[in-house]
Amino acid sequence: MTEQNFEQMRRAMVVSQLRTTGVNDPRVVTAMGEIARERFVPDDKVVLAYADLALPIGVGRALNPPMVTGRLLTEAQVTPGDTALVVGAATGYTVALLEKLGASAVAVEEDAGLYELGSKNVPGATWVKAPLVTGSKEGAPYSLILLDGAVEEIPQALIDQLGDGGRLVGALIDRGVSRLVLGVRAGRGFGTKSFADADAAHLPGFAKPAAFSF
pLDDT 10s digits, 16-53? 999 999 999 999 999 999 999 999 999 999 999 999 99
Asked, for residue 48, whether it belongs to a domain, the answer is yes
pLDDT 10s digits, 128-162? 999 999 999 999 999 999 999 999 999 999 999 99
Residue type, 95: V
Asked, for residue 210, whether it belongs to a domain, the answer is no
Among residues 127, 133, 53, 140, the alpha carbon closest in space to that of 90 is found at 127
CATH of the domain at 28: 3.40.50.150
Residue 94 domain boundaries: 3-197
Whole-prediction pTM value? 0.95
Asked, for residue 110, whether it belongs to a domain, the answer is yes
Asked, for residue 144, whether it belongs to a domain, the answer is yes
Average confidence (pLDDT) over 188-196: 95
Asked, for residue 206, whether it belongs to a domain, the answer is no
Asked, for residue 205, whether it belongs to a domain, the answer is no
* Per-residue pLDDT at 3 exceeds 90: no
Average confidence (pLDDT) over 78-106: 98
Please give the Cα distance from 193 to 181 (Å, whole number). 5
* Per-residue pLDDT at 209 exceeds 80: no
Which residue stretches of the chain are H helix? 3-13, 26-34, 66-76, 93-100, 112-121, 156-159
Asked, for residue 134, whether it belongs to a domain, the answer is yes
* Per-residue pLDDT at 189 exceeds 90: yes
Asked, for residue 208, whether it belongs to a domain, the answer is no
Q: Are 89 and 107 in contact (CB under 8 A)?
A: yes
Mean pLDDT across the chain, nearest whole number?
95
- Please give the pLDDT value at position 36: 97
Count of domains in the chain? 1
- Please give the pLDDT value at position 212: 52
Q: Are 196 and 179 in contact (CB under 8 A)?
A: yes
DSSP assignment of 83-104 equals EEEEET-TTSHHHHHHHHTT-E
